[in-house]
Structure 1
Amino acid sequence: MGNFLQENEMLTRWAQFNQEKWRCTAEILKFQRPDSEAYIESLFFFNHKGKLFLPPLNPFHPTLFHPTPTDKPYRINEQWQQLALQMVDEIARNSGAASFILPPSITDIRPFLRRGFKASVRYTYQLSLPYSSEDASPKIRGRIKKANQTGYRTALTQNMSEVHPCLVATEERKGFQHDLTLEDLHLLQELLGESNFRCYVCYSPEGEAVSVHIVIIMGKDWSFIWVAGSKTAHLKNGVVQQCHHYAFEDLSQLGIESIDMAGANIASVAEAKSGWGGELVPYYQIRLPIFMETYRACRNWLTFNKKQKI
């Protein structure tokens, strides 16, 4: 395996990038009882008003649960319930109107619901590694074959000047902004290093960079596709699929165990990602109810009880 940063160091450097890029405050909070080595570690972002928010290009608030070594499910559940209460109180103190998005690894949100939080479910696809192209749909395998036969090739790059134009091309085609400058990419490259910041570029037969996927590796069982982009003229030639496949093979060789494809909530996006054969998994967006929701709930409760009395 490469010279990877450890999870805590990755959280620290990811926090630094977000602070510099989005002009926010970031703090790694640790929730732990004095009588146990189990703990939760979570990265909290705060806006200029001191309230929680999630900066752009973050799929969720990075949160890690570390139970003590045990094969007893009841012990793990007990530790999570105890520590999550501390986290719930911290979020409640700072939440404002913003949501807190938990990563897919956090599946038990009962402590939040009991505290009065509202929850919305979202979805993403996760691929187990090592990856076999046999798990992909015939359509995707066909696209990879076309790219290979046409002379495209994919490789890792440290040249952000090749990466950035591909991101811009997707922005222009789809009408949105990553809001990433070339300097931003250089900053993150410097902070995370080549082992944790993986830039995969597909090159045309003429050597032009035409498609890019950037993967962030937080740990061997925690990586995600951060951003991607492709030049329009090459999309039908399978460049996106070849780039994806190369990335999955590279991550497998590094010993990475899974990758999050970062979202499957928009129908067209979900359809494109489902063909890789990953597991569809939920993750949760939680927030305290805003005033109008509380008002409506109280009004409905009073109306119901009035009718019952009648």
Structure 2
Amino acid sequence: MIDHLTKLRGHVSITLPPDITDIRPFTWRGFLAEIRYTYILSLPYSINLADKAIRNKIKKAHANGYHSQPTDNMEHVYQCLIETEKRKGFNHQISVADLELAREILGEDRFRCYICYSESGEPVSANVTLLLDADRAIGWVAGTKTAHLSNGVVQQLQLLELEDLASQGIKSFDFCGANIASISESKAGWGGALKPYYVVRKPVFKDILRSGRDWLKFGQRPSGSSDP
């Protein structure tokens, strides 16, 4: 793998699963490594592991007539992804055709989508999950319409997904990242184990600029702070 990566041009990076902890062969060849974190849940899952706030949000979603289910409607999934892109100012770089192609290539056994509908039948939240093997699944992408975000739809959908994956024999679910404070907080409430993982990449010229930025950031201290 390393020999192949060194021959590629341009930006080259690879995210390693949490169970790969020895990255020395990459660093010996000059790759840069960054440590990141994710939460992993063991399946089958018990809702008793979730904190009270999550359980209350699920009850709220039920009370307001929302219902969640597996889906093969990629247009409905896409509608939810787009809403999150607009709200958070990023681009998944995924189209409806991309989702349909992925489902066709990987099949339902590897590519599973879940969606939450309002009482009126509007798609309001979606999760797309990849089944890596017979035991492991990762939450690949997700999106929720802003108007329904506070109604517990995300939590109801997540619980349905965990139950469905367990029924397929999956043993663990990886939330696929918990590196932003607000995202980490929302995922931590499910009671999973915090696990580190590595991202390794070829160095580029921008790394010089990044080093300068990191040096300046490290040297900054909150106003009013003083030396011990």
TM range (shorter): 0.7 to 0.9
Aligned counterparts, 1:210-221, within 5 A: 210-221=124-135
Question: What's the offset of the Cα at 1:110?
Answer: 2.4
* Unaligned runs of at least 5 residues, structure 1: 1-86, 295-310
Q: Aligned to 2:79, which of 165, 168, 190? A: 165
Greater mean alpha carbon deviation, residues 242-251 or residues 266-275: 266-275
- Coordinate RMSD, CA, aligned: 2.0
| CA deviation map 1:215-250 (0-9, x unaligned) | 111212221111111111111110000000000000
Indicate the residue corresponding to 1:193 in structure 2: 107
Do the aligned residues in 2 keep the contact of 1:164 with 1:181 (CA within 8 Å)? yes
Partner Cα separation in structure 2 for residue 97 and residue 210 of structure 1:
35
Compared with structure 1, are the counterparts of its residues 167 and 291 closer, same or farther at alpha carbon in structure 2 (3 Å cutoff)? closer
After TM superposition, the structure 1 = structure 2 runs for residues 64-143 of structure 1, keeping only pairs within 5 Å, are 87-94=1-8, 98-143=12-57
Q: Secondary structure at the match of 2:108?
A: helix
Alignment partner for residue 178 of structure 1, among 92, 96, 103? 92
1:271 counterpart = 2:209:
no
What letter matches 2:151 in structure 1?
A: N
Q: Relative to structure 1, is the Cα distance of residues 177 and 132 closer, same or farther in structure 2, using a 3 angstrom cutoff?
A: same
Contact 1:95 1:287 in 2 (8 A): no
C-alpha distance in 2, partners of 1:271/1:247? 20
**Displacement of 1:116:** 3.8
Give 1:152-301 correspondences, 5 Å limit.
152-290=66-204
Bigger relative contact order (CA 8 A; separation at least 6): 2
Which runs of no fewer than 5 residues in structure 2 stay unpaired? Answer: 209-228
Equivalent AA in structure 2 for residue 176 of structure 1: F
Partner deviation per Cα, 1:20-73 (whole Å, 9 max, x = no partner): xxxxxxxxxxxxxxxxxxxxxxxxxxxxxxxxxxxxxxxxxxxxxxxxxxxxxx
Q: Which amino acid aligns with 2:53?
A: K
Output the amino acid matched with 1:153. H
For residues 183 and 293 of structure 1, the distance between their equivalents in structure 2, rounded to whole angstroms, comes to: 35
TM-score by length of 2: 0.83
Aligned-residue sequence identity (percent) comes to 53
d(CA) in 2 for partners of 1:136 and 1:129? 13
Q: Which moved more, 1:100-109 or 1:199-208?
A: 100-109
Question: Structure 1 residue aligned with 2:60, among 130, 142, 146?
Answer: 146
Distance in 1 between the 2:138 and 2:26 partners?
25
Judged with a 3 Å threshold, the aligned counterparts in structure 2 of structure 1 residues 279 and 95 are, in CA distance, closer, same or farther, namely farther
Return the letter of the residue paired with 1:269.
I
Q: Which amino acid aligns with 2:185?
A: E
- Displacement of 1:207 in angstroms is 1.5
Letter in 1 for 2:28: R
